[in-house]
Structure 1
């Protein structure tokens, strides 16, 4: 008991020191924040306002460290979790992870093994990179790590750390060479890195012959032909157009929808190529599915998406299952994947041609479903795939209405990044902010002000 008391006294003491030091310094990323914002800004007042809102909310997360003070002796080991990446074991506070990363927040607030246990396996990040990621989440300082800069950038994007990602875009860009230009450009396209994309395209334009003659270009043309096509298009554009395209927040230049629900031009990201990471199904599974009727294939596809059965879902897509098949409530497989938070299933369905704007009997889109359920990663995937952030359902509710009503702060932040209208009104005249206030979601009220 004495040892436990000493341990928690130490944790509380360090939390107070971190919070105090954080408040003294303000929000620091290891690079000039104004430079990073300017590089990512499109010149749109709406996007500028959204960026300021996001920074305001992220800057207020110092208060989240105070939750460590409530842990006390009675909290036991539940306040901390062990992150496992290969042979690396790192102990961290759940409160800090959830406050910094929407991925961890979603993980801990739902009924998952990670939420109920004290061990989280991080399969997609190497041990040293995980250590840097965790260090940033505690200190909010981006170190200079040129040797692992691409890996840290990918991890920052995967776990929703935009300022760390922006800092490492610059570090990767500083190392451009003929040998790595193709890999760098593909990295920028895969992970929506506007600054890095502009730098890579500019470099390749200046060294086109040398880059195209490398083995890396030939390999990319075989393994990632869609990205090479996009890269070729960017290289062929005049400088002014390339600059505009590279400085947008989305994967390429924004498009304007002239008939948005609230009477203004809505700027959203165009479709991108979603890459399904699940291995392709084996031949035996495909043969088993091939003889099913069209209706049965569609029914099973919806069921696989609902339950996150990736092997069966990939096999059904391989044998031509209809991604537009609907259940009795006119819900598609993508809508079920969005509702249940199955990110990889949603990614594969989009790759298979699923309609991102499909509507069920209540006129909810997949984005409505993901926003209502609080699945931040799925919301980000959908809006990057051109889902309309201002689509209205049968009662005039937008995805932002649902996020505000349910108290999903990170979901709302992503929706605002992609042009969600804070002044949209449902059929009863309520704005998202009014729903947030009625349900006492104060941080959302602050974000939507």
Structure 2
């Protein structure tokens, strides 16, 4: 049985590799047990469940994928959406989605067979959904963002849904405002609903004159009634925030790790590159405090991973100084330079070495940091580690290279 299981796993893995180079047909899955899931922090009861679900997923990721090695032939199913056929593992589908978990736990046709028909999702969207369930990475897909949001809601993927709320909100226009508002109402998207209603209030006449409004009145009259009520509802003790105030609030939300607040502020037009008095960005603060969910929210919204503060430290320098291994991996995945220099010529690896952050240093080395880079005084990272008696780091940075 073990040999047969290994054969199955090898076959599916090869299919994944082939599919990653073919966007038209074939299979699509992904394997990355090292991915760190966002740890959302919020005071909202509605997002507390999202936070708990994300943490559960993070804790089970490696175990879920490890079980594939011992799975039998029945571990693999084919998902069918129109003409699209995608191979996936039951264990991963069940671990990520409560809908699939329910499906496979009971005596259903899908549970007993190897073929699952997905009637409510188009093939390309199913590919993105499945890719997320394997990698836990929310891609930037503006062209199909509404469809991915709807599918994420239908299959119980709250973090993916939240990420795409922001993407849909960023594309609000007079032409799509009604459709966006209806999408938010249908799928219970508070951030997107607020953004859409605010936009329509600011462009009421133009929006009401569109064909989208007329069509919605015929096809979804109950939603139009609700939307009309929301538009007419006076704001409770609200005022227009200046861009400077939005920036301050954005930085505060990043420091607190408040993902929902970040999404609402960004949807309302806050500058993702806003800075404090020391020229730290919101991303610097999210990284410093270890809020992976907030940091991911910001980089997916376009935060500059190369932004420098008064000391010329990038967010990656901050991650190294604080010993944030997961942050290093996240920032590097978004193309942060592992050899960027600060005001004294230190790379992030210099900072990790000086402060004795071994795990962050290992992640930086894996990302391509130059262990022999010299700062403005001529010191390499190993010198700083030795100076502060971080012996394990000295050994890590020495590796198999000859010593001075």
| TM-score computed with the length of structure 2 as normaliser | 0.51
SS of 2:236 mapped into structure 1: helix
Q: 1:202 to 1:68 in 2, by over 3 A?
A: same
| Structure 2 residues not aligned, in runs of 5+ | 17-29, 240-259, 262-404
Partner of 1:233: 229
Q: CA deviation digits over 1:145-180, x for unaligned, max 9?
A: 111111101100000000000111111111111111
Q: 1:228 to 1:55 in 2, by over 3 A?
A: same
Partner of 1:21: 34
Partner of 2:25: none
| Structure 1 residues not aligned, in runs of 5+ | 249-449
Counterpart check, 1:178 vs 2:174: yes
Aligned-pair distance for 1:186? 0.3
Q: 1:122 to 1:198 in 2, by over 3 A?
A: same
2:140 to 144, 169, 174: 144
1:152–1:168 Cα contact (<8 Å) kept:
yes
Structure-2 separation of matches of 1:158 and 1:142: 16
* Aligned pairs for 1:86-165 within 5 A: 86-165=82-161
Aligned-pair distance for 1:97? 0.3
Aligned-pair distance for 1:9? 4.3
1:80–1:91 Cα contact (<8 Å) kept:
yes
Counterpart check, 1:61 vs 2:60: yes
Partner of 2:370: none
* Aligned-pair Cα RMSD in Å: 3.0
1:234–1:242 Cα contact (<8 Å) kept:
no
Structure-2 separation of matches of 1:236 and 1:121: 42
Q: 1:241 to 1:168 in 2, by over 3 A?
A: farther
Aligned-pair distance for 1:51? 4.8
Q: 1:205 to 1:123 in 2, by over 3 A?
A: same
What count of residue pairs does the alignment treat as equivalent?
226
Structure-2 separation of matches of 1:160 and 1:134: 13
Counterpart check, 1:200 vs 2:196: yes
Counterpart check, 1:8 vs 2:18: no
Q: 1:85 to 1:242 in 2, by over 3 A?
A: farther
Q: 1:226 to 1:12 in 2, by over 3 A?
A: closer
Aligned-pair distance for 1:11? 5.4
Aligned-pair distance for 1:233? 1.1
Structure-2 separation of matches of 1:4 and 1:237: 59
Q: 1:131 to 1:221 in 2, by over 3 A?
A: same
2:37–2:55 Cα contact (<8 Å) kept:
no
* Aligned pairs for 1:222-301 within 5 A: 222-240=218-236
Q: 1:11 to 1:223 in 2, by over 3 A?
A: closer
SS of 2:53 mapped into structure 1: helix
1:82 to 56, 78, 82: 78
Q: 1:6 to 1:57 in 2, by over 3 A?
A: closer
Partner of 1:395: none
Aligned-pair distance for 1:53? 3.0
Q: Deviation above 6 Å: which 4+ runs of structure 1? A: 1-4
